[in-house]
Amino acid sequence: MTTPIVHLSRRYTFPASHRLYTDRLSWAENEAIFGKCANPNGHGHNYRLTVTVAGPVDPRTGFVMSLDQLDDAVRRHVLDVYDHRYLNVDVEDYFDVVPTGENIAKRIWERLEAPLTGRLRRIVLDETRNNQFEYTGPSHPT
């Protein structure tokens, strides 16, 4: 008999700014690839982060995971570092990597995987109301 698994998704938001630009390319190439997103002083978003964890339901509490514990992990490992920051300049994750939605989703996964001890299943990052990025970890290439 398998234990039923429930997925819990919890949503966080953090305003931050970023710039899509890389020193590995010429200015003309940056502009061709990134357009307005390469503007020198950056721009920003209200990033919406949805973290999904999964597990069996604790028969005593009815929880897959305590929300306090989840919030605490996200706050300490992501929000305290990313919230109200200029990602390219303030966050070392993006010193060598362009902070595209794709890369931010991956980096957030990497930051949360260990603290969430095997329960992390999915990171969804909404950059705008039209663009969404989803990462389910290195072992789920789908």
Active site residues: 37, 84, 127
Nearer to its own copies, 77 or 82 (CB): 82
Give the Cα separation of 6 and 61 in Å (integer): 14
Per-residue CA distances from 59 to 2, 62, 64, 106, 121 (Å): 15, 5, 9, 33, 21
The separation between CA 32 and the C-alpha centre of its own chain, rounded to angstroms, equals 26
Residue 30 C-beta: closest distance to its own copies, Å: 9
* Shortest Cβ 72–its own copies spacing (Å): 14
Residue 98: CB partners within 8 Å, gap ≥ 6? 20, 21, 22
Taking the complex as a whole, how short is the minimal distance between the CB of residue 28 and its own copies, in angstroms?
14
Pairing verdict, β 43-56 and 120-126: antiparallel
Residue 40, classified by CB atoms within 10 Å of its CB into exposed (0-12), middle (13-18) or buried (19+), is exposed
For its own copies, give the closer residue by CB, 79 or 115. 79
φ/ψ (deg, to 5) at 10: -130, 140
Residue among 77 and 105 whose Cβ is closer to its own copies: 105
**Closer to its own copies by Cβ: residue 17 or 115:** 17
> Considering the complex, what minimum distance in angstroms separates the CB of residue 39 from its own copies?
5
